[in-house]
């Protein structure tokens, strides 16, 4: 059994992580930290956990967390990097669900997150935790940077096209939409029911923090810098991301049929336990992955033109956050990858 600590267990990502951890057969949930809720039972704050855990929130501390085999950080950006070096010295492995270890360029990190990076040496050794690309490196990693929600949906959708150099990777477009849980649990006027219900809007059009993360990953796959227009939107629903992805077919690939391109997706993901390529003509729906760790993908070629359209859906709190973190944990500790993650999606 693994002794597990969770730092920052009071947000939506945190409670989703706890929901999955308490059902995992190889996990002993030892510590859940929160300065504001210290001493309170976790199940009193999150009644869905009643009967599944008697753990109380504790103050975050290195000596306490050093008793764990693995510590998850479900904290605001900039928190994990202050504690991770000391935990690594104690032999603790780390999965960070925030962005502290996602961007390898420290100048780029400071540009997008507004603070200097406090442990660039750890950053250099961190592994980006998208199993479909980095499974081998994740297995031996001491620090795993869990991908963002939008980057997961967008990267998995574009990946076969970039790997096979089928499209013009200087004109990629990602038109992505997320439920309001992606904004976090903190009080905000923009995500109040009366403000977000019956409305739909784009945001961060000039630049979203997930843009450099997506570009970094896809550029590594392509072995050169790709270019991407990324526009996120807020949907009046709680969970889910749908990414509509647009790519122009290169001249040398123009003769490929949609069936051949679809088969590339099928072959790329046939051994991936959490990526489901749908049959031609089938549109994925966010409700079909709600509460599950699955990503569902469809590919289209409207009017047999030169633009491919890929639709990719995930639950932003599961495959886009906590579920993917558990998937990474399973890989790191040689558990079957689907352990604790075989929940059927919730419908309706």
pLDDT higher than 70, residue 229 = yes
**Which pLDDT band, with edges at 50, 70 and 90, does 340 fall under?**
very high
pLDDT over 80 (residue 186): no
HSE on the CB side for 245, CA within 13 Å? 31
User: What SS3 state is found at 256?
Assistant: coil
Residues in the chain: 348
pLDDT at 148: 97
Domains of the chain: 2-125 (3.40.50.720), 150-316 (3.30.360.10)
Q: What would the pLDDT profile of 102-142 be if each residue is shown by its tens digit? A: 999 999 999 999 999 999 999 999 999 999 999 999 999 99
In angstroms, rounded to a whole number, what is the distance separating the alpha carbons of residues 67 and 58? 14
Q: How many CB atoms lie within 10 A of CB 159?
A: 23
Mean pLDDT on 147-151: 98
> Using CA of residue 130, residue 131, residue 137, residue 143, what is the dihedral sign?
positive
Q: What would the mean pLDDT of 300-317 be, rounded to a whole number? A: 97
Q: Which of 56, 68, 119, 149 is catalytic?
A: 149
Q: Tell me which of 86-90, 194-198, 209-213, 274-278 is least confident.
A: 194-198
Neighbours of 196 (CB within 10 A): 20
149 catalytically annotated: yes
Task: Write down the pLDDT at residue 306.
Answer: 95
Inter-CA distances, 54 with 23, 43, 335, Å: 14, 7, 25
pLDDT attached to residue 191: 81
Would the pLDDT of 187 be above 70?
Answer: no
User: What pLDDT does 3 receive?
Assistant: 98
Contacts for 182 with CB less than 8 Å, ≥ 6 apart: 149, 241, 316, 320
Quickly state the pLDDT bin for 188 (edges 50, 70, 90).
Answer: confident
Does residue 60 register a pLDDT over 90? yes
What is the pTM assigned to this prediction? 0.96
- pLDDT, averaged across the chain: 96
């Amino acid at each position: 059994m693994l002794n597990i600590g969770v730092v920052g267990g009071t947000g939506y990502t945190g409670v989703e992580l706890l929901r999955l951890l308490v059902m995992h057969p190889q996990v002993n949930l030892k510590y859940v930290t929160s300065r504001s809720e210290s001493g309170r039972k976790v199940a009193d704050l999150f009644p869905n956990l009643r009967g599944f855990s008697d753990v109380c929130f504790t103050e975050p501390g290195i000596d306490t967390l050093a008793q764990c085999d693995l510590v998850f950080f479900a904290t605001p950006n900039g928190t994990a990097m202050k504690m991770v070096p000391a935990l690594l010295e104690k032999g603790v492995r780390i999965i960070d669900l925030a962005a502290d270890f996602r961007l390898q360029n420290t100048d780029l990190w400071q540009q997008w997150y507004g603070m200097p990076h406090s442990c660039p040496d750890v950053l250099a050794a961190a592994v980006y935790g998208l199993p479909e690309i980095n499974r081998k490196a994740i297995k031996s990693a001491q620090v795993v940077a869990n991908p963002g929600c939008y980057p997961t949906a967008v990267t998995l959708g574009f990946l076969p096209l970039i790997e096979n150099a089928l499209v013009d990777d200087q004109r990629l477009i990602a038109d992505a939409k997320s439920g309001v849980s992606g904004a976090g649990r903190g009080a905000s006027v923009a995500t109040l029911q009366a403000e977000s219900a019956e409305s739909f809007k784009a945001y961060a059009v000039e630049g979203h923090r997930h843009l450099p993360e997506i570009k970094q990953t896809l550029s590594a796959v392509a072995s050169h810098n790709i270019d991407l227009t990324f526009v996120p939107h807020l949907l009046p629903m709680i969970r889910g991301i749908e990414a509509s992805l647009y790519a122009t077919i290169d001249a040398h690939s123009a003769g490929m049929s949609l069936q051949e391109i679809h088969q590339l997706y099928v072959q790329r993901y046939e051994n991936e336990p959490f990526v489901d390529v749908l049959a031609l003509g089938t549109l994925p729906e966010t409700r079909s992955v709600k509460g599950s760790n699955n990503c569902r993908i469809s590919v289209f070629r409207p009017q047999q033109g030169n633009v491919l359209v890929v639709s990719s859906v995930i639950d932003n709190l599961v495959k886009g956050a906590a579920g993917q973190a558990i998937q990474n944990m399973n890989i790191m500790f040689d558990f079957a990858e689907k352990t604790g993650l075989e929940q059927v999606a919730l419908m309706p």
